[in-house]
Amino acid sequence: MKPTLLILAAGVGSRYGGLKQLDKIGPSGETIIDYSIYDAISAGFGKVVFVIRRSLVDDFNEVFIDKLKGKIEIGYVLQELDMIPAGYAVPADRKKPWGTGHAVLMAADAISTPFAAINADDFYGRGAFEGMTAFFKATANDSYAWAMAGYMLGNTLSEFGHVARGVCETDTQGLLTGITERTKIIRSPSGISYQDEHGQEILLAENKPVSMNFWGFKPVIFDLLKEGFLAFIREHGNNPTSEYYLPLLINNLIRDQKITLKVVPCHDKWFGVTYREDKPKTEANIRKLIEEGVYPEGLWKW
Q: Where are the domains of the chain?
A: 4-291
The DSSP secondary structure of 97-138, one letter per residue, reads ---HHHHHHTTTTT--S-EEEEETTEE--HHHHHHHHHHHHH
Predicted structure pTM score: 0.92
Q: Which residues pair with 171 in a beta bridge?
A: none
Q: Which residues contact 115 (CB under 8 A, 6 or more apart)?
A: 3, 4, 5, 6, 49, 107, 216, 217, 219
pLDDT given at position 105: 98
The proportion of the chain whose per-residue pLDDT surpasses 90, expressed as a percent, equals: 74
Element (H, E) at 230: helix 221-236
The DSSP secondary structure of 186-207, one letter per residue, reads EEETTEEEEE-TTS-EEEE-TT
**Average per-residue pLDDT in the chain?**
91
For the segment 90-122, what is each residue's pLDDT rounded down to a tens digit? 999 998 889 999 999 999 999 999 999 999 988
Asked if pLDDT for residue 215 goes beyond 70, the answer is yes
Please, is 199 exposed, middle or buried when counting C-beta atoms within 10 Å of its C-beta (0-12, 13-18, 19+)?
exposed
The CATH-assigned architecture of domain 4-291 is Alpha-Beta Complex (3.90)
* Residue scoring higher pLDDT (276 or 42): 42
Number of helices followed by number of strands (H, E) in the chain: 8, 13
Report CA Rg, the chain: 19
Average pLDDT over residues 175-196: 92
